[in-house]
């Protein structure tokens, strides 16, 4: 109910008339964000609220999903004046990138497979990189975008290795079945490295003080 209308917003951006571009996309994104409030009903219980075998919500992911949906209309409102003097195709591209960010974040926060979360988590780098390099205000935006891409990718590689080790240990990466598997005992130094690898990508992404550029 939320993901498909968000995906349909992308072709809508490219077919609506120029004069109605910002107003239509703002209204469309506001409708999506209002519809996302229906997810609040699923936070009453402690378990998962299933949408399909690969996507579900729980009390932790639901507020993040709702926040994601509300960020798009706020970004459109904040960017309209700043980009109104640009060519119309650049305006459409900018809104498309913002919408693709919302799509990737919805898929990441609702994923029940950890590897799907990882892929969507990293896919947000692509539209973010384009926005930084094309619409950044500073003259150093190209260098900033390059550092951002490679530093974040390098920080997330230990998480990928940790997930592959978890797959080898438990035989699954589904959050629905991982809960029934006995937890790993962090007894050895290698186990502690695995734990640190799981955290490093999130510390870089946040970014935590001391782990950013």
33, 77 contact by CB (below 8 A): no
Q: Give residue 101's pLDDT.
A: 95
Q: Are 105 and 148 in the same domain? A: no
pLDDT in tens, 26-36: 999 999 999 99
Q: Domain limits at 48?
A: 1-110
pLDDT above 60: residue 44: no
DSSP characters for 5-72? HHHHHHHHHHHS-GGGHHHHHHHHHHHHHHHHGGGGGGGSSSS-EEEETTEEE-TTHHHHHHHHHHHH
**In a shared domain, residues 85 and 8:** yes
Which residue intervals of 84-182 are DSSP H helices? 88-109, 114-123, 125-135, 141-170, 175-178
Rounded CA-CA distance 195/130 in Å is 32
Which of 110, 129, 154 terminates a domain? The answer is 110
pLDDT score for 46:
62
């Amino acid at each position: 109910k939320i993901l498909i209308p968000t995906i349909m917003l992308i072709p809508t951006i490219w077919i609506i008339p120029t004069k109605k571009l910002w107003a239509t996309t703002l209204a469309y994104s506001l409708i999506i964000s209002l519809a996302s409030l229906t997810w609040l009903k699923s936070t009453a219980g402690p378990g998962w609220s299933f949408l399909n075998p690969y996507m579900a919500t729980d009390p932790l992911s639901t507020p993040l999903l709702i926040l994601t949906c509300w960020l798009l209309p706020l970004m459109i409102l904040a960017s309209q004046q700043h980009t109104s003097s640009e060519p119309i195709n650049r305006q459409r591209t900018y809104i498309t990138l913002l919408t693709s960010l919302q799509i990737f974040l919805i898929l990441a926060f609702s994923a029940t497979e950890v590897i799907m979360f990882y892929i969507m988590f990293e896919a947000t780098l692509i539209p973010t990189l384009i926005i930084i390099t094309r619409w950044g205000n500073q003259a150093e935006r190209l260098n900033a975008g390059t550092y951002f891409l490679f530093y974040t990718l390098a920080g997330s590689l230990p998480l990928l290795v940790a997930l592959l080790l978890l797959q080898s240990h438990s035989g699954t990466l589904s959050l629905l079945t991982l809960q029934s598997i006995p937890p790993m005992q962090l007894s050895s130094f290698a186990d502690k490295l695995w734990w640190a690898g799981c955290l490093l990508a999130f510390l870089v992404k946040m970014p935590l003080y001391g782990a950013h550029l």
